[in-house]
Amino acid sequence: MSTPAAHRLRPIGVTGLDNRKLGMWIFLASEVMLFAGFIGSFVNLRAANLVTMTEAAGLLNRPLGAVNTFVLITSSLTMAMAVGAMHRGNRAWVKLFLLLTIVLGCGFLGIKGVEYSEKFAHHYTPHTNLFFSFYFIMTGLHALHVFVGVVLMTVLLASVAANSARTDEVVVENVGLYWHFVDVVWIFLFPLLYLT
Amino acid sequence: MGDDMKEHVAHGPSYRDYVAVFAGLAVLTAATVALSYSGLAEGLRHFLAFTIATAKAVLVGMIFMHLRFDRRLIVACAVTPVVLAILFILAIAPDIGKAP
**What average pLDDT does chain B have?**
85
Q: What is the mean pLDDT of residues B80-87?
A: 94
Among A30-34, A55-59, A159-163, B87-91, name the one with the lowest average pLDDT: B87-91
Q: What percent of chain A has pLDDT over 90?
A: 79
B90 in contact with A, Cβ within 8 Å:
no
* pTM confidence score: 0.90
Confidence label for A99 from pLDDT (cuts 50, 70 and 90): very high
Distance between B67 CA and the closest CA of chain A, angstroms: 10
A114-130 pLDDT, tens digit per residue, is 999 999 999 999 999 99
Give residues with Cβ within 8 angstroms of A69, minimum separation 6: A186, A187, A190, B29
R_g over Cα of chain A: 19
| A153, pLDDT greater than 50 | yes
Q: Hey, which residues does A18 pair with through a beta bridge?
A: A12
| Amino acid at site A76 | S
Q: Please determine, for residue B1, whether its predicted confidence score (pLDDT) is greater than 90.
A: no
CA distance A27 to A178: 9
- Residue B96 has a pLDDT of 67
Yes or no: say if A185 and A99 are a contact pair by the CB < 8 Å rule.
no
What gap in Å lies between CA A152 and CA A157, rounded to an integer? 9
Mean pLDDT, chain A, integer:
91
Closest CB from A1, A40, A73 relative to B88: A40
Query: Cβ separation of A188 and B80 shorter than 8 Å?
Result: no
Angstrom distance (rounded) from CA A176 to CA A40:
27
pLDDT at A93 over 60: yes
Chain A residues with CB inside 8 Å of B73's CB?
Answer: 15, 17, 22
Dihedral of CA atoms A190, A100, B9, B4 in degrees, nearest 10, equals: 110
What are the pLDDT digits (tens) for A34-86?
Answer: 999 999 999 888 888 888 899 999 999 999 999 999 999 999 999 999 999 99
- Which residues of chain B are within 8 Å of residue A73 when distances are taken between CB atoms? 22, 25-26, 29, 56
Residues of A in contact with B7 (CB under 8 A): 88
Find, among A17, A171, A195, A194, the residue nearest to A94 by Cα: A171
- Report helix, strand or coil for A112: helix
What pLDDT is attached to residue A14?
Answer: 77
pLDDT exceeds cutoff 50 at A2: no
Q: Distance between CA atoms of B81 and B77, rounded to whole angstroms?
A: 7
Q: Give A4's pLDDT tier (boundaries 50, 70, 90).
A: very low
Q: Per-residue pLDDT for A19 more than 50?
A: yes
Tell me the β-bridge partners of A43. none
> In this predicted complex, what is the ipTM?
0.89
Whether residue A195 and residue B32 make contact (CB cut-off 8 A), yes or no, is: yes
Cα(A161)–Cα(A181) distance, integer angstroms: 25
Spatial distance between the Cα atoms of A127 and A133, rounded to a whole number of angstroms = 6
Q: What are phi and psi of A12, to 5 degrees?
A: -95, 125
Instruction: Please check whether residue A191 is in contact with residue A39, taking contact to mean a CB–CB distance below 8 angstroms.
Output: no
Q: What is the pLDDT of residue A18?
A: 87
The DSSP letter of residue A7 is G
pLDDT on residue B11? 54
Judged by CB atoms closer than 8 Å, whether chains meet at A70 and B29 is answered as yes
